[in-house]
Amino acid sequence: MCGIAGIFCRDGDQVQMNLLSKMTRVLYHRGPDYGAVWRKAQFGLGHRRLKIIDLSDSSNQPMTNEDRTIWLSFNGEIYNYKDLKEILIKCGHVFRSNSDTEVILHAYEEWGTDCLARMNGMFALGLVDLKKKCLLLAIDRLGIKPLFYFYNDKKLLFASEIKAILMDPSLVREIESKSLDTFLSFNYVVAPNTMFKGIRQILPGEYILVGNDFVKQEIYWKPSF
């Protein structure tokens, strides 16, 4: 288990490093082995690492590609990463680590958002594409790994746990009445809602692509009966 967090200032403002660090630090219990934050203008990513695959420092996150145009903060495990790595090497990609994290970076370079349907595993990720000036959020097919987010016209915040998002003092902590109703009925909150107004969770098999002036939500996988 790792912890991921991030900020995208859609209005072009600089990411506040103090807020990003707080969001990441509150997830310490999810990844005590290593922690770091990265910022580039209006984008910021944070990561708390629990070492599972490739214990070396070369697998620390946030991780970037060769030309530092794509950055990734990822929680989970990609079970078929070795198979995907072989395919990507044949496509000309060069790897510097033995991690499944780096495979995701190269898979996105090769296939874009279509890479999600190729990945077999449990994951939640936040990926920044500096060339396209967008942020990709996604979770695995069955929603094993959680990912929560808040967004408006000015910014988007995301994290593995809601309490990291609530580190932003500008957010109003208000109960979502419909979520309270479902919780009292079913003993859980029905996705994509959460108990907090304005904070939502990504659905299983869903990705969200966010830019300065667009938000795209797609279901990349559905079970077929």
* Residues tagged active-site: 2
Would you call 120 exposed, middle or buried from its count of C-beta atoms within 10 A (0-12, 13-18, 19+)? middle
Distance of CA 109 to the CA centre of its chain: 17
Q: Which residues pair with 38 in a beta bridge?
A: 45
C-alpha span between 80 and 78 (Å, rounded): 6
Who contacts 114 (Cβ-Cβ below 8 Å, separation ≥6)? 220
Contact 64, 99 (CB under 8 A): no
For 60, list phi and psi in degrees, rounded to 5: -65, 155
Q: Which two tokens stand for residue 120?
A: 């077999």
> Could you check whether the bond before residue 192 is cis, i.e. omega within 30 degrees of 0?
yes
C-alpha span between 213 and 10 (Å, rounded): 8
CA atoms within 13 A on the CB side of 79: 4
